[in-house]
Amino acid sequence: KQEVTQIPAALSVPEGENLVLNCSFTDSAIYNLQWFRQDPGKGLTSLLLIQSSQREQTSGRLNASLDKSSGRSTLYIAASQPGDSATYLCAVGGTYKYIFGTGTRLKVLA
């Protein structure tokens, strides 16, 4: 059974810092891995999708990496801003459904 863990559970950083969020999963037979952002009381916004054959994806200040053999993914956020404050969720995909981690709550202080 696939289990997804995200560390840390919460993170508070000053504006401008670079930071790394971690995601680990127990079964390396995945189809893809996706990072989402969730603002309080809202739905999920897709940030980056990495297919199982890929090693990383980049979008603006965000970079996500995937190491299937070790069951790990990282989300790197460069030059963090207060607007980045949200919960970041990692989701591991099979052929259809996602298994989500419990998220990292990020607060970027101005």
From 43, 60, 69, 110, residue interacting with other proteins (rule: CB under 8 A): 43
Pick the closer one to other proteins by CB: 4 or 77: 4
Distance CA 48, CA 54 (A): 12
Pick the closer one to other proteins by CB: 17 or 39: 39
From 26, 51, 58, 59, residue interacting with other proteins (rule: CB under 8 A): 51
Q: Does 102 bind other proteins (CB under 8 A)?
A: yes
Per-residue H/E/C for the chain: CCCEEEECCEEEEECCCCEEEEEEECCCCCCEEEEEEECCCCCEEEEEEEECCCCEEEECCEEEEEECCCCEEEEEECCCCHHHCEEEEEEEECCCCEEECCCEEEEEEC
Q: Does 36 bind other proteins (CB under 8 A)?
A: yes
Q: Does 107 bind other proteins (CB under 8 A)?
A: no
Query: In the complex, which residues of this chain contact other proteins (CB under 8 A)?
Result: 4, 31-32, 34, 36, 41-46, 49, 51, 89, 91, 93, 96-103
